[in-house]
Structure 1
Amino acid sequence: MLEKKDFNLERAVLIGVITKDQDEVKSKEYLDELEFLTFTAGGEVIKRFTQKMDLPNPKTFIGTGKMQEIQNFIKENEIGTAIFDDELSAAQERNISKVLECKVLDRTNLILDIFAQRAQTSYARTQVELAQCEYLLPRLKGMWTHLERQRGGIGMRGPGEREIETDRRIVRERITLLKDKLKTIDRQQAIQRGNRGQLVRVALVGYTNVGKSTLMNVISNSEVFVEDKLFATLDTTVRKVVIGNLPFLVTDTVGFIRKLPTQLVESFKSTLDEVREADLLLHVVDISHHNFEDQIASVNKILGEIGCANKPTIMVFNKIDAYEAVPFDNDDLIAVRTKENYTLEEWKRTWMNKIGDDAIFISALNKKNLEGFKRRVYDEVRNVHVTRFPYNDFLYPDYEGEEEE
């Protein structure tokens, strides 16, 4: 029996597949993330559906039997939205909508919707609209299926097709306009970056919801918006920070996510110029997340795509206050000890030990080990600064630190 839910939220079901490339554990992790995305967008997940298949069905993504099961559940429980974990083709989306008779979204559409909600500046709104238009263009036909029934009538032959062509032209023109607008803003921002002088630039990067904005607030004494939701911060924020007597710039960038829509990577490449032009990256990781290693891999993949894989990087393992190892029963001969059972000290002796001084463990929220973090960042920024201005070496002695709170 279903629990009583908040009917002010949009009721949704999630659909994912288990394939040879995405096992049951991985599928569950993706659906957990998809549920958090749904919550962030203002929805409530009533039920999840998964199906084991070699490959997704090219027509309806899932099989007919599972589709019938979902259709029955949607009708019986007044579900308004079905959300698929992978990107659907235009044909798949159209076919599924006909069967389920409800709103059908995929992961890309959902992320675009969240970005549209979160965008505050004109620049971010323009980037999101461009991504939405590029996503929408091949899917316009499915939005005119209500006119298909009228085709063939007197005076109504092919109205849907004409409307589609008209809309395609409008969307293409809009895409061109938005790209031109972004080029103009990019030129303005390039000038702004140039006007910042020769200050060393540090960029906070990482998976979404790992605490980048919280860390930004702590080290810069600012008030960047923070919320326990995915993509709480969408607009790039730059702050001047001083550690010891050494000033530098810190940029808080948009968080990354697995299966990040191609349209968003393309549209936000200009925002990621802040990352490209940074002298140092602080890769913030939520070590309390059970799958933080995969999140690191996802961020590194995107950094590679934008040409930043070899930038000097400090790994900042955040949320150590929230980290808890799963208790391990030594008396259970069947159980096999896994990474879930590692203590924080054991993690530090794994591959993290090879990173050496470039691995820092902190809690930005509770301000734990922030002095160690500041000292390491100071040293790295000082090295960049002294390389750039050798005659200023004497101005910046070793950082002595402050009392921990």
Structure 2
Amino acid sequence: MSTGFERDRDEFARGARAVVVLPDRGDSSRDADARLEESAGLAAAIGLEVVDRVALRVRQPRPATLIGSGQVEELATRVAMEDASLVVVDAALTPIQQRNLETGLKAKVIDRTGLILEIFGERAATAEGRLQVELAHLDYQSGRLVRSWTHLERQRGGFGFLGGPGETQIEADRRMIRDRMARLRRELEQVSRTRGLHRERRQRAPWPVIALVGYTNAGKSTLFNRLTGAHVMAENLLFATLDPTLRQISLPGLDKAILSDTVGFVSDLPTQLVAAFKATLEEVVSADLLIHVRDIAHPDTEAQRTDVEGVLAELGVTDTTPRFEAWNKLDLLDDDDRAAVLADAARRDGVMTISALTGEGVDALVEAVAAKLTEGHRRYTITLPASDGASLAWLHAHGEVVDQHDADETVTVEVRLGAEDHARFERRLAERAE
């Protein structure tokens, strides 16, 4: 009888029976049950059937197996009883630990990083997203080489963490990986240059860019759809959105703004993914304003906030970028918790309470964002020739026209403009007069 890790990959497709294991060292601020729930959600995100969840107290991590030998035996019994073919360990495993656990448990073992990368591999919908995830996957696996590399020629989602027997031709594999990574980096550099050109054109426009950020499944895509009328995938599913989506919206006092929906963050987000998705997340770095969407009903909402802020800092987003926290999912709170959340939010600056699902509080959030983006705008009285429709249109596009009086040969407008936009308008008039 073959062991789990010797079986063909087809046995680890959607519907495979999996046991989720949380090695708990007791040093986390997170709730153990919530962490197990998140791990099970990650497994479900690629269609695995979670048949058991186990939290194991780990006082001293073992170099060979992470958990103790007695715990390995106990876990092996549970895996056999559940007829599970896969064990998901919510921790980062070394290649040695992974292989030893597979031997001891007689089942395929995948760690948190591998699981997240597998999800990203299945979900990446664009050519750019697939390049980014494949680069991250190769970076992760380059030190392991415990799987075959035939997936490099396969046209499928995912990247084959969950199967493949081989440990053959390791040197050839390493060379192939290095060459492939070099090609991917060159292609992604081109992607980054292209994004930079698009960003420069938008900045010349100049329409403000608002980026939605937050922990995965916090409700960013639901809010994005409500604000834009778009139909971006929004499900109760971890990592429902991978590829960035940009849409034009109108805000009070602003004719146009660009709203960007980004990939959700997660605790212990693999460094390979942060590096690979830098080109995509540059939209966040260059945004004029961030809306940090938080699932305020989640038991680990504060820890999730810390994780998101940590990733933003890693990306180079500074505290000088204006931001709001949108405390989402009010609809999931009972009356007492809701009252406590509303009272807490009222004591804080830059916090808005919303339900993206029902629309509660969204209008107030929009008004607050518009007010922040138009801060410092002054009211100007400008008289134009009646024939200068282009300048009048420019004022409508870049400012808030409060009043307008038409005469036979002139048009007088009262308009609110930022100092920079007013200076640009003055330069525009001077250039047209030359």
TM-score by length of 2: 0.77
Question: How far did 1:349 drift?
Answer: 3.5
The residue aligned with 1:343 is 337
> Quick check: 1:200–1:384 contact (8 Å CA) kept in 2?
no
Q: Does the 8 A contact of 1:243 with 1:374 survive in 2?
A: yes
| Contact 1:386 1:393 (8 Å CA) reproduced | no
Are 1:290 and 2:293 matched, yes or no? no
Instruction: Give the Cα separation in 2 of the matches to 1:355 and 1:279.
Output: 21
Q: Percent identity?
A: 35
SS in 2 for 1:12: strand
The residue number in structure 1 matching 2:25 is: 19
In the alignment, what sits opposite 1:257? 266
- The one of 173, 177, 182 aligned to 2:179: 173
Is the Cα–Cα contact under 8 Å of residues 12 and 45 in structure 1 kept in the other structure?
A: yes
Verify: 1:320 aligned to 2:330, yes or no. yes
Whether the 8 Å contact between 2:253 and 2:370 is mirrored in structure 1 is no
Shift of 1:385: 7.4
Give the SS at the match of 2:20: strand
Alignment of 1:66 with 2:71, yes or no, is yes
Cα distance in 1 for residues equivalent to 2:14 and 2:111: 22
User: Equivalent residues in 2 for 1:6-405 (5 A)?
Assistant: 9-22=15-28, 26-140=31-145, 142-143=146-147, 163-196=169-202, 197-244=205-252, 246=254, 247-310=256-319, 311-324=321-334, 343-350=337-344, 352-356=345-349, 358-383=350-375, 395=401
| Shift of residue 322, structure 1, vs aligned partner | 1.3
Cα gap change, 1:172/1:17 in structure 2, threshold over 3 Å: closer, same or farther? same
Asked if the contact 1:316–1:360 (Cα under 8 Å) also holds between the matched residues in 2, the reply is yes
Q: Distance in 2 between matches of 1:46 and 1:385?
A: 58
1:208-240 CA deviation, whole Å, 9 max, x = no partner? 111111111111111111111000010000111
Change (3 A) 1:316 1:163: same
Whose strand proportion is higher, 1 or 2? 2
1:127-154 superposed Cα distances (whole Å, 9 cap, x missing partner): 00000000111110x337xxxxxxxxxx
| Whole-Å separation in 2 of the counterparts to 1:178 and 1:195 | 26
Separation in 2 of the partners of 1:395 and 1:267? 43
Larger Rg: 2
Distance of 1:265 and 1:252 partners within structure 2:
16
Q: Any stretches of 5+ residues in structure 2 without a counterpart?
A: 1-12, 149-165, 380-393, 403-414, 417-434
Amino acid at match of 1:228: N
Q: Deviations over 1:292-348 (max 9, x none)?
A: 1111111111111112141211111111111226xxxxxxxxxxxxxxxx6323234
Paired AA for residue 243 in structure 1:
L
**Residue type matched to 1:210 in 2?**
A
Letter in 2 for 1:359: V
One-letter amino acid matched to 1:16:
L
Does structure 2 conserve the Cα–Cα contact (< 8 Å) formed by 1:241 and 1:250?
A: yes
What SS is found at the alignment partner of 1:190? helix
Cα pair distance change 1:181/1:289, threshold 3 Å: same
CA distance in 2, matches of 1:29, 1:200: 37
Letter in 2 for 1:91: I
Q: Hey, what's the Cα distance between the residues in 1 that align with 2:261 and 2:190?
A: 22
- Structure 2: how far apart are the matches of 1:79 and 1:394? 62
> Does the 8 A contact of 2:253 with 2:374 survive in 1?
no
Q: What is the CA-CA distance between 1:124 and the residue it aligns to?
A: 0.5
Distance 1:8 1:115, change over 3 A: closer
Instruction: Please state how far the C-alpha of 1:161 moved relative to its aligned partner.
Output: 7.9
Secondary structure of the residue aligned to 2:147 is helix
Q: Does the Cα contact within 8 Å between 1:10 and 1:44 map onto a contact in 2? A: yes
- Aligned residue type for 2:271: T
CA distance in 1, matches of 2:81, 2:265: 37
Residues 61 and 305 from structure 1, CA distance in 2 versus in 1: closer, same or farther, beyond 3 angstroms?
same
Tell which deviates more after alignment, 366-375 or 274-283: 366-375
Q: 1:50 to 1:345 in 2, by over 3 A?
A: closer
What residue identity is the alignment partner of 1:102? Answer: A
Partner SS state of residue 213, structure 1? helix
Contact 1:205/1:284 (<8 A) preserved = yes
Residues 184 and 8 of structure 1: CA distance in aligned 2, closer, same or farther (over 3 Å): closer
| Cα gap change, 1:273 to 1:384, in 2 (>3 Å) | farther
Distance 1:386 1:257 in 2: 41
Partners of 1:17 and 1:27 within 8 A in 2: no
- Match for 1:292: what amino acid? T
Opposite residue 359 of structure 2, the aligned amino acid is: K
